[in-house]
Chains A and B, each alone.
Chain A
């Protein structure tokens, strides 16, 4: 029996496509049809190119996009792009991304819909057409993008009149004319509140930006200066890619390049199958819950099941909470699929070149309409909150799948996704009006590995390599004074191997004050699960202190103030109003000396805390990343608090007692299920959940892991 035969999909819902249909500028079928079959031109080139030549060609193409990435980051002035939230790509002539420099891995798997739309609807339309020097702009999430503040341009590459590929460049620009400055708009409840939506519009002829189009776009956003600067950078970078690819065409011919790009995808598909086939068949599951919708609290469910058989996998999200009209935490089918790349490319397919070909043997079924596969009308700006839950589930599942394989080096707890983004707006020290975030989100904690602790503050959840910059620079660019960037205490998942600690940034509003918009998730429920008994990374609510007037207090009553989140939250050493809030908050004004405490969350732990070497616990204490309470009460280490020396015998006894205590609390599985199935959150938490426990089934008596036979 095929494992797939055991799936029961709910009638009336969609799984392998979007729940919305065609509209002007949008054709969802283009987003779900997969990699285009090779054209005649591509077939000719594929036949010519040996695997050896392909390796050389792929190196060259990678050099081209990596150069483009560096150029784009150098020229851009958007905080997100400078710090790595971007990509540069070459697509096949038929519109599939073949070679991508990241940045962000999900960009590797997106933006094909817009290119294919141009191919299908505009190329032969006499009112539009397609020729060398055309540049198209797009940022509409329903047409194949992420959110409206991720903006891209693409340009066809013609060689001697033959279309051989596409250059594409873009990233997280920020301000897009939505109801909140800076991009993220927690207040948005429909797409109409999320600013510019451009599906794929030609903005340049012969590489020259059209003045009327440019004026339209600049007149639609709050910071036309940044918008224009970054747009020019993108177009210049696209042209650079195109020029480089043309030189390769001179060496290999049109078919050689077009076929080479397509063959990269074909070979990746084969490598993917080989990798998958070596892993144990089975059904694997994990579930996460979000604790908010829009600006309100509320429980939302996102389960993930992977069915692996032979050289194929099916990833299913079934039993997902329905759409709501409260906010932008809605994801699209294509973003759910693309986001998987963040886990798959770094861990599951470690060592293979990341591209969309690797997804060829993976079928993706996302229940919709739901928060994970939403309609077109809802707000989409924080869809990544939902897709990230799927990635975290997949990470846990993947670690279980890979444990008994030759790829155990990839087994780990997930990277921190308890992401909080503080968008500051106001006037910076140069006198520019600005709205953007700092590099803090690039300082999240890594999940613990099967053989190693997680690294502290080591990157951005979505990206392979990012740069958090330095405070001396970001302080001049943004309307804040950053008072601390620390590795904070008790802010990670404990375990045999502990998760990495994030950096916590503590900032103050400057003399002129500033505005703050925040977005996040995991205020009460962590999205950083531990694995094999490790603790989850802790939740990460919004934390601000109003009326602190911090510099005045530091010069008078609080001279010995210790600027850490741990101290501020636990001891409240400053006068002021302490607010631990729901993370997604609309724009508010703040006065000089108010404090913002911001971090991207700590990674989950791996394995039982009672198995962590006591000396490693003492190292954590010396490094000030855990408190003595944790060493004593969680790790159950008995130690001298002054000298930090371990009493080995007493520790053994303490841990043995802890194990005995666990055993005494154990119960048979059936009894656990019986008890668990009776549990139910209070009704006010279930407003946006759907039916309990199965959101799409009115009456259901099994626990949530039981929906399959």
Chain B
């Protein structure tokens, strides 16, 4: 092994993936995720990769410049409600905020179908039971003025009530604390005075004004509770893993991938930022790849066994933040890089409902799995349909590592779908594929429209996941996308993405003011400049503090500032970029408002612009980015030798009602020469997937061994 290694690790629900970049060469491997102790799966996956490049884990780690780790630690704690005993102190009158949850929280985190099923609504159990929520009589108004002062004696009484119930940590969320944190800080001081740090039994206090200084008492409460709830387990796991790596010879800091779109050392990472870090890493990686190809708008699609995940690169940028993101079942205030998921994957079960074909959201998962797995599953799944259609070779699934039973697939499709509908097995399987492709395509369409306002035709799709290339042409067609890229490492895309993560911190806070008033013929407000600068300076100071701790030269940092603007009284805001420095004069405010008007018109149509309503700022968001070295070529391989333009073989595949059965050429991806354009129908097999090229589409590998599916112009 020559050269220094960069290692990316992604712990998924089923597999733990590792990608290693050495001198521009990418190697990857995977092992089962070990839910009982994630470190075991990580060690196993590292060993698999190390062996594939003829070294040991210790050899690999001892030669590594960096390890970036994306993990699901905390997910189980949240699902099983296993965490520290916490108490919540809030403003009296708002003790039920967590339960009420804007009324809609019963539906948060559920599938679209379940969200409409109000009759069967069931809220998740709260992470802090109602008995451990206490109120104190105090009140700020929305400007942060004290309306009702806090009384120390009441605080102490309520704290004691919580301690008597066995509480080991306090979450403090008072109304409008983002505008004035004085009462929250006073509560912390009182608790610390009562339970000093120097003694055993010290109890942490989490203030919402520090963790999430933003408007919205429910989301702020849940953000703080999640952070506090997950802290212990997350910390223990990361420290233990770091020790493991150090013991194996790795001497650099372990970098943690975050859902905010960057990485940071353990000491600068918040537990809540770990959620969704895998898919977000995938998006960041996709953005880097898109940069190589100068593609401004990309759908990152990832179709696995149970879900179809989506991310967006817009105008070359991966940081499309989700408005009101949901973690598990909880709506929070986290600048989460947006990604979406629907219940459509290879394991999605096809069934008839009132005589009409439906696919999903129920999944056969990996156990019992699709009928063709012969593990007891009898219901037809999308994978069964792919086998019946001839796309998946039962003897070469996952490179032959798993043998499939075609007869069982056909029986499932025939018995459950074809016979009741009075069609052939091929027609039934095609219908399953057509339907699931349509569902995924429409999700792409919806997301593109909702998040960008762009026409989906302006996007290219990247197809990740084991089932991605099998269905990419189908779902892209449904979404109106006519170019799809497929990759050698598509099954480990999230781990690959971690290699592209910069060290980054993101900060947000509410700042509410009027920048442009429509009164008196329209006035840009000079008095808004100083408070806006103050809000920006608070974030910059926090960023400098944290990035200095990470060891960065502050002059080399890249700051990205966004100001959240809206027309008067709207709830929705648009983020508008602004130089990360104090606003100097009214001309800059005018420029900012002008940018907002343009962006608004682009997103919603010029007819929707309503400057007469005035323009308000509602918040500021800052990302501080310390760039790290990218792997040469960003993981793309060069030309290969020993190629063969001829098919590896042929098999009969079914291509829909129009084309029927065709004897279809089958190619092996690793043998195909670059730039050879194949015309569909064709099947391009590799060890972890098969790329399905339907009639009307072409396929070729470019010089970097990226496989391009393209719909022929006449078909668009």
**Shortest Cβ gap from A465 to chain B (Å):** 6
Cα distance A470–B612 in the bound complex, in angstroms? 26
Cα distance A56–B142 in the bound complex, in angstroms? 48
* Contact count A vs B, C-beta below 8 Å: 234
Chain B residues with CB below 8 A from A483, complex form: 93, 139
Cα distance A466–B121 in the bound complex, in angstroms? 13
Chain A residues with CB below 8 A from B607, complex form: 207-209, 232, 235-236, 239
Contact with B along A439-460 (1 / 0, CB 8 A): 1001100100100100111111
| Partner-contacting stretch, out of B65-73, B245-253, B382-390, B444-452 | B444-452
Which among B100, B142, B455 is the interface contact of A476 at CB below 8 angstroms?
A: B142
Cα distance A429–B356 in the bound complex, in angstroms? 53
Chain B residues with CB below 8 A from A161, complex form: none
Which among B148, B442, B604 is the interface contact of A75 at CB below 8 angstroms?
A: B604
Which among B93, B94, B149, B610 is the interface contact of A229 at CB below 8 angstroms?
A: B610
A85 within 8 A of B: no
Chain B residues with CB below 8 A from A412, complex form: 119
Is there an interface contact between B142 and A503, defined as CB atoms closer than 8 Å? no
Is there an interface contact between A56 and B104, defined as CB atoms closer than 8 Å? no
Which among A240, A466, A476, A551 is the interface contact of B148 at CB below 8 angstroms?
A: A551
B580 within 8 A of A: no
Chain B residues with CB below 8 A from A59, complex form: 438-439, 442
Chain B residues with CB below 8 A from A229, complex form: 567-570, 610, 613
- Segment 32-76 of A: residues with Cβ below 8 Å from B: 51-52, 55-56, 59-60, 62-63, 66-67, 70-71, 73-76
Is there an interface contact between A486 and B96, defined as CB atoms closer than 8 Å? yes
Cα distance A503–B97 in the bound complex, in angstroms? 10
A432 within 8 A of B: yes
A464 within 8 A of B: yes
Is there an interface contact between B104 and A60, defined as CB atoms closer than 8 Å? no
Cα distance A410–B571 in the bound complex, in angstroms? 35
- Segment 182-216 of A: residues with Cβ below 8 Å from B: 207-209
Is there an interface contact between B570 and A471, defined as CB atoms closer than 8 Å? no
B131 within 8 A of A: yes
Is there an interface contact between B216 and A470, defined as CB atoms closer than 8 Å? yes
Is there an interface contact between B94 and A484, defined as CB atoms closer than 8 Å? yes
**Shortest Cβ gap from A444 to chain B (Å):** 8
Is there an interface contact between B93 and A485, defined as CB atoms closer than 8 Å? yes
**Which of A77, A208, A506, A562 has the largest number of chain B CB atoms within 10 A?**
A77
Cα distance A122–B512 in the bound complex, in angstroms? 47
Cα distance A486–B133 in the bound complex, in angstroms? 13
Which among B131, B218, B514 is the interface contact of A430 at CB below 8 angstroms?
A: B514
B103 within 8 A of A: yes
Cα distance A471–B478 in the bound complex, in angstroms? 41
Chain B residues with CB below 8 A from A562, complex form: 92
Is there an interface contact between B103 and A503, defined as CB atoms closer than 8 Å? yes
Is there an interface contact between A442 and B176, defined as CB atoms closer than 8 Å? no
B219 within 8 A of A: yes
Contact with A along B582-604 (1 / 0, CB 8 A): 00000000000000000000001
Is there an interface contact between A51 and B119, defined as CB atoms closer than 8 Å? no
**Shortest Cβ gap from A709 to chain B (Å):** 34
Is there an interface contact between B434 and A432, defined as CB atoms closer than 8 Å? no
A151 within 8 A of B: no
B623 within 8 A of A: no
Is there an interface contact between B215 and A472, defined as CB atoms closer than 8 Å? yes
Is there an interface contact between A458 and B102, defined as CB atoms closer than 8 Å? no
**Shortest Cβ gap from B353 to chain A (Å):** 7
- Segment 131-158 of B: residues with Cβ below 8 Å from A: 131, 137, 139, 141-143, 147-149, 151
Chain A residues with CB below 8 A from B434, complex form: 52, 56
Chain A residues with CB below 8 A from B569, complex form: 77, 226, 229, 430, 432, 434, 477
Is there an interface contact between A74 and B175, defined as CB atoms closer than 8 Å? no
Is there an interface contact between B217 and A472, defined as CB atoms closer than 8 Å? yes
| Partner-contacting stretch, out of B110-118, B489-497, B498-506, B687-695 | B110-118
Is there an interface contact between A472 and B175, defined as CB atoms closer than 8 Å? yes
Is there an interface contact between B431 and A456, defined as CB atoms closer than 8 Å? no
A481 within 8 A of B: yes
**Shortest Cβ gap from A271 to chain B (Å):** 5
A247 within 8 A of B: yes
Is there an interface contact between A555 and B478, defined as CB atoms closer than 8 Å? no
Cα distance A87–B337 in the bound complex, in angstroms? 29
Cα distance A503–B117 in the bound complex, in angstroms? 21
Cα distance A239–B608 in the bound complex, in angstroms? 10
Cα distance A235–B102 in the bound complex, in angstroms? 28
**Shortest Cβ gap from B539 to chain A (Å):** 20
Given contacts A52-B431, A60-B438, A63-B442, contact A467 B93 (CB under 8 A): no
Cα distance A118–B380 in the bound complex, in angstroms? 49
Is there an interface contact between A486 and B175, defined as CB atoms closer than 8 Å? no
Chain B residues with CB below 8 A from A484, complex form: 92-94
- Segment 189-241 of B: residues with Cβ below 8 Å from A: 215-219
A473 within 8 A of B: yes
Cα distance A439–B104 in the bound complex, in angstroms? 11
Given contacts A51-B356, A67-B450, contact A468 B103 (CB under 8 A): yes
Given contacts A77-B613, A430-B569, A439-B102, contact A486 B122 (CB under 8 A): no
Cα distance A229–B92 in the bound complex, in angstroms? 36
Is there an interface contact between B121 and A71, defined as CB atoms closer than 8 Å? no
Chain B residues with CB below 8 A from A476, complex form: 142, 512
Which among A233, A275, A457, A624 is the interface contact of B103 at CB below 8 angstroms?
A: A457
A623 within 8 A of B: yes
Chain B residues with CB below 8 A from A3, complex form: none
Chain B residue with the shortest CB-CB distance to A488: B96
Given contacts A430-B514, A459-B103, A472-B216, contact A481 B147 (CB under 8 A): yes
Which among B118, B219, B605 is the interface contact of A464 at CB below 8 angstroms?
A: B118
Cα distance A232–B443 in the bound complex, in angstroms? 27
A591 within 8 A of B: no
Is there an interface contact between A468 and B139, defined as CB atoms closer than 8 Å? no
Cα distance A666–B219 in the bound complex, in angstroms? 53
B545 within 8 A of A: no
**Shortest Cβ gap from A522 to chain B (Å):** 20
Chain A residue with the shortest CB-CB distance to B600: A75
Which among B137, B215, B439, B455 is the interface contact of A470 at CB below 8 angstroms?
A: B215
Is there an interface contact between B104 and A459, defined as CB atoms closer than 8 Å? yes
**Shortest Cβ gap from B99 to chain A (Å):** 6
Cα distance A412–B143 in the bound complex, in angstroms? 45
A561 within 8 A of B: yes
Cα distance A223–B130 in the bound complex, in angstroms? 41
Is there an interface contact between B568 and A503, defined as CB atoms closer than 8 Å? no
Is there an interface contact between B119 and A346, defined as CB atoms closer than 8 Å? yes
Cα distance A147–B650 in the bound complex, in angstroms? 66
B435 within 8 A of A: yes
Which among B93, B116, B443, B605 is the interface contact of A506 at CB below 8 angstroms?
A: B93
Cα distance A409–B570 in the bound complex, in angstroms? 39
**Shortest Cβ gap from B244 to chain A (Å):** 43
Chain A residues with CB below 8 A from B107, complex form: 465
Given contacts A225-B612, A459-B118, contact A443 B100 (CB under 8 A): yes
Is there an interface contact between B94 and A471, defined as CB atoms closer than 8 Å? yes
Chain A residue with the shortest CB-CB distance to B603: A71
Given contacts A74-B572, A77-B568, A432-B568, contact A240 B102 (CB under 8 A): no
- Segment 39-85 of B: residues with Cβ below 8 Å from A: none
B95 within 8 A of A: yes
Cα distance A680–B119 in the bound complex, in angstroms? 37
Chain B residues engaging chain A, CB cutoff 8 angstroms: 92-97, 99-100, 102-104, 106-107, 115-123, 130-131, 137, 139, 141-143, 147-149, 151, 175-176, 215-219, 353-358, 431, 434-435, 438-439, 442-443, 445-446, 449-450, 455, 478, 480, 512, 514, 567-572, 604-605, 607-610, 612-613, 616
Given contacts A275-B354, A471-B175, 20 further A-B contacts (CB under 8 A): A55-B356, A63-B443, A77-B569, A228-B612, A236-B604, A267-B356, A346-B116, A346-B119, A352-B354, A412-B119, A439-B102, A449-B120, A455-B106, A459-B121, A467-B102, A467-B103, A468-B102, A470-B216, A487-B99, A622-B130
9 contacts between A and B (CB under 8 A): A60-B442, A75-B604, A229-B569, A350-B119, A409-B120, A459-B103, A476-B142, A554-B137, A555-B148
